[in-house]
Structure 1
Amino acid sequence: MTDNSLPFDAASAATGKPAVYDRRFYLAAWRWHFYAGLFIIPFLLILSVTGMMMMYIGYFDGRDGENITVPVPASVSAMAVSRQAELAAEAIPGGTVVEWLSPKAVDRVAVFRVKAPDGVQTMVAIDPYTGGVVETWVRRNGWYDFADNIHSDLLLGTPGDRILEIAAGLGIVMLISGVYLWWPRGQRLRDCLVPAFGQSGRAFLKSLHTVIGIWVSFFLLLFLLSGMSWTGVWGTKLVQAWNTFPAEKWDNVPLSDETHASMNHGAMSDVPWALEQTLMPASGSQAGVVGIAPGTPVDIDSVSSLAKAAGFNARYRVAYPKGETGVWTINQDTMSADAEDPFSDRTVHVDRYTGRVLANVGFADYSLAGKTMAVSIPLHMGLTGLWNLALNTLVCLSVQFLCISGVLMWWTRRPSKAAPRFFAPQVPENRPHWRGAMVLMLAVSMAFPLAGLTLVTVLALDLLILSKVPVLRRVFA
């Protein structure tokens, strides 16, 4: 089938002769746009829906109980953090406190993560003024976490992670091919940025799909790249591995065998992206600089005082030492909803025996990629303010519209009721031009290994089977 809406360039319009090369390249880009979209549409819908769930649950309820409020007495000050910790531990028989989340404001609860003897971790919200237990819940076991687990790996573990990495890579191919299809050819740029409200039916749907797609393309690219940076191959093996903060910057500090990623819990990341693969410092030496005054007990009270003296404000988290060489870790980062300013991200490690500061890493210490991730991840998660939540909501709804409208345009494009339902854009004639377009698409996609492997597979299937078997060629050509 020939699509009469295919473009001609300005020179061709003047001469009345069709732009054969442009038309063939357009057809090739259209075919790749179709194939990439066909694969990723269900995943984009899943990601956009679960992403909105996480944003709104986090905004209204809070991810870790940070939005639970308590009355503020007029003449009573907050209890010592150590006493609050004792009361939190008593709420869970045999429990041991492993983390404290400081109150976000004076009218908010303090939250403690308590580990039971059987390994189950429970969050305990404490009224800092009365010491009463306000609420308890099993950590990472709520609706937010359910949506996050789907968003991270489709509840399939490593296979799900790989599927989403492929989908994100193909999403970038779809974006590039989509921009090429949108590119003005003999039209005013203004007309390409505003829907054709004078049209109706499929023509109007196509115009709306194209215009919304170009407006949302930058934000979708940001979402795809920042999301892919957490994936197991492109993210962990290629990008993160080369942009991890080097532990060697900590002068003469003994290092643990564990990385910062050991502080994570399931699909949820609790430490900055730039530090995940960095080795943790180890306690038990005279390394570092003076933090807690010599002779002062190194406990949650002195560590919290050190945090305030070091400039931590709003909400921050203190992880207790794990093992004999473990360290106290004070951390504040925007991706964990601690603050709305990613430039204030900071991680401090304190020797559990001497109280000396072994490491102090802030936003300025990250690599360029680390800084980019520190900013883009909170933007991705809608954590930098109400404006961010509103913008991300608009992007998610736009992505859902693009997926649904893309399916509708494909469904209504079949040449007749008797034609095959599964109709793909035709294979261009004079294939050298088409192959050149495929080489360009593959060159872009090969930057993302799993997506590149998938496209090579589709290319081989298209060339060796779909275009050779008559019945399949009638369906796909």
Structure 2
Amino acid sequence: MDTPSNQSTNNQRYFTVWRWHFYASIFVAPFLVVLAITALGMLFMSNTAGRDNDRLKVIVPESTVQSPVSTQAKNALSTLPDSTLIKYIAPRDTDTVALFQIKSDDQSNMVAVNPYTADIVQSVPTSSGLYSTFNDIHSDLLIGKVGDYLLETAASLTILMILSGWYLWWQKRKSVKAMLIPSERAPNKKKRSFIRTIHATLGSWISVLLLFFCISGMAWAGVWGERVVQAWSQFPAGKWGVAPVPVSIDHSQHAAMQESTPAPHVHGAAASEAHTDAPTHGSALNSSDTKEVPWVLELTPMPVSGTTKGKDGIAANIPIMIDTVDRYAREIGFVGRYQLNLPQGSTGVWTISQDSMSYDMKSPTADRTVHIDRYSGNVLADIHFDDYNAFGKFMAAGIALHMGTLGWWSVLANVLFCLAVIAMCVSGYVMWWQRRPRHANDSVGLNPPARGSDVSVWWPLAIPLLMVAIIFPTAIIAIIAIALLDFLVISRVGFLQKLLK
């Protein structure tokens, strides 16, 4: 039986956690709403026009023989003077366009071509569609590294918000069943009690998925993802003995090799010197801000052409050109939409890839990336889902769920999840508005829970939350910054105390 002393202590703890939850929510809710709205936009665009307009329809003729890819590429290049072919994306279905990314000195276009007639269907600047706009907002709020940092911080603090929310709702319900089933125990059916029940119950249902989305999304972020996770989880570049190393090609041999690769503009061959450092997959294959490289490969160095490595590729008596590489891709199992990045520079490679993250197909377990030497035709690497490490497999599957690429059921699940996140954030602000003091003198500021009370730190819960925060660097940085701001400024300025405390 609770004594008055125990009840007072429990209330003190409850108000302490509630205040933590409140401050975290005030910061992260606007970001969660923006992320949910832009996610809905990307879901809509990717399943209607396509991320890069690859779902544009064409009339299928009686003779379903397609024009040579080189002919299609030549027509695509004619739309932009002095351009070079960067990438070919094969048609998704028999009645959809082929795509060619072409680039000149100051312009990059994505050209949609009828694969049967080789006629130009559409030519637009790369990453100029609505999908790219939604994606840019979703990634960095259109403000670059600062936006990326803010979103990563919001995602990190969301995890702490979820943990504190679990504690608050558990203290009210005392059972998992009661947390998940909306019911109001109190006899007084006030609007605020109803909104709180909906807010907390909805939060209980989606919290685990929200945790997953935060973690999978942050794996792309600049600090926790790129600096912490990807740095130790990247793919082993030298697995096939073809790790990228500086190469020195005899210039007479190089010239002969170049002559064996006709139509350099079509095939993306640039007569540049050998690179001293090979680029990573991300820097070499991401043609825009939109991620196009499997997560586990993004920081892995690219192999290079011009070595004696590799085997079992295009036969020596077959010229290495876009038509033969496309035919080879079909022979080794690539079906439907796949992407073919052309060699850039004297040591560049042909890269054939297909993955769910690029909306090429549904299943992440079918991910595959093949690198081919531009001179010998040898396969330098053939990377499958089974070759990923454990965390890479988790990320491949997680991103497919995160992006809703697993089929219509996952699209519907993502739509419902995004709407639930928006409803949870809006209901949180409604509760805050309903709880505000009615007196004019007291209604100024944020009006946090237990306003004016001396709410002490409850260390048994604070320590685990801080330990979780330490895992995500931007969260602990934000907490330290807020603590310093409170100690140095807010606690010493009466107006700020009234506004925030």
TM-score by structure 2 length? 0.87
Give the equivalent residue in structure 1 for 2:270.
none
Output the CA distance in 2 between the equivalents of 1:100 and 1:58: 19
Give the alignment of 1:115-154 within 5 angstroms.
Answer: 115-116=103-104, 118-154=105-141
Deviation for aligned residue 1:95: 2.0
Output the CA distance in 1 between the equivalents of 2:293 and 2:70: 24
Give the equivalent residue in structure 2 for 1:290.
312
Give the equivalent residue in structure 1 for 2:443.
420
- Please tell me whether the aligned partners of residues 425 and 476 of structure 1 are also in contact (alpha carbons under 8 angstroms): no
Give the equivalent residue in structure 2 for 1:368.
390
Deviation for aligned residue 1:316: 0.5
Give the equivalent residue in structure 2 for 1:307.
329
Q: For residues 102-133 of structure 1, what are the alpha-carbon distances to aligned partners after superposition, in whole Å with 9 as ceiling and x for unaligned?
A: 111111111111112x2311111111111111
Q: Indicate yes or no: 2:218 matched with 1:228.
A: yes
Q: Indicate yes or no: 2:72 matched with 1:72.
A: no
Deviation for aligned residue 1:32: 1.2
Deviation for aligned residue 1:296: 0.6
- Please tell me whether the aligned partners of residues 281 and 293 of structure 2 are also in contact (alpha carbons under 8 angstroms): yes
Deviation for aligned residue 1:434: 2.4
TM-score by structure 1 length? 0.92
Output the CA distance in 1 between the equivalents of 2:352 and 2:452: 60
Output the CA distance in 2 between the equivalents of 1:319 and 1:279: 15
Give the alignment of 1:64-463 within 5 angstroms.
Answer: 64-116=52-104, 118-183=105-170, 187-196=174-183, 199-255=189-245, 257-262=278-283, 263-418=285-440, 419-421=442-444, 422-426=446-450, 434-462=458-486
SS in 2 for 1:372: helix
SS in 2 for 1:257: coil
Output the CA distance in 2 between the equivalents of 1:247 and 1:253: 5
Output the CA distance in 2 between the equivalents of 1:23 and 1:294: 78
Q: For residues 14-40 of structure 1, what are the alpha-carbon distances to aligned partners after superposition, in whole Å with 9 as ceiling and x for unaligned?
A: x67644443333222211111111111
Q: Which moved more, 1:299-308 or 1:233-242?
A: 299-308
SS in 2 for 1:60: coil
Q: Which moved more, 1:68-77 or 1:18-27?
A: 18-27
Q: For residues 304-325 of structure 1, what are the alpha-carbon distances to aligned partners after superposition, in whole Å with 9 as ceiling and x for unaligned?
A: 1221121111210000001000
Output the CA distance in 1 between the equivalents of 2:65 and 2:287: 33
Output the CA distance in 1 between the equivalents of 2:384 and 2:430: 48
- Taking only the aligned residue pairs, the percentage that are identical comes to 41
Q: For residues 326-353 of structure 1, what are the alpha-carbon distances to aligned partners after superposition, in whole Å with 9 as ceiling and x for unaligned?
A: 0000000101100000100110000000
Are the structure 2 counterparts of residues 188 and 42 from structure 1 closer, same or farther at C-alpha, using a change threshold of 3 Å?
Answer: closer
- Please tell me whether the aligned partners of residues 173 and 179 of structure 2 are also in contact (alpha carbons under 8 angstroms): no
SS in 1 for 2:123: strand
Q: Which moved more, 1:41-50 or 1:319-328?
A: 41-50
SS in 1 for 2:100: strand
Q: For residues 396-432 of structure 1, what are the alpha-carbon distances to aligned partners after superposition, in whole Å with 9 as ceiling and x for unaligned?
A: 1111111111111112212433323320123797866
Deviation for aligned residue 1:171: 0.9
For structure 2, which runs of at least 5 residues remain unmatched after alignment? Answer: 246-276
For structure 1, which runs of at least 5 residues remain unmatched after alignment? Answer: 1-10
SS in 1 for 2:73: helix
Output the CA distance in 2 between the equivalents of 1:238 and 1:292: 39
Deviation for aligned residue 1:302: 1.4
Output the CA distance in 2 between the equivalents of 1:470 and 1:434: 25
Considering only aligned residues, what root-mean-square deviation do their CA atoms show, in Å?
2.2
Q: For residues 420-474 of structure 1, what are the alpha-carbon distances to aligned partners after superposition, in whole Å with 9 as ceiling and x for unaligned?
A: 3320123797866524433332221111111111112223444565556666555
Q: How many residues align?
A: 464
SS in 2 for 1:210: helix
- Please tell me whether the aligned partners of residues 114 and 123 of structure 1 are also in contact (alpha carbons under 8 angstroms): yes
Q: State the one-letter code of the partner of 2:99.
A: V
- Please tell me whether the aligned partners of residues 25 and 437 of structure 1 are also in contact (alpha carbons under 8 angstroms): no
SS in 2 for 1:241: helix
Output the CA distance in 2 between the equivalents of 1:253 and 1:163: 36
- Please tell me whether the aligned partners of residues 195 and 204 of structure 1 are also in contact (alpha carbons under 8 angstroms): no
Are the structure 2 counterparts of residues 252 and 273 from structure 1 closer, same or farther at C-alpha, using a change threshold of 3 Å?
Answer: closer
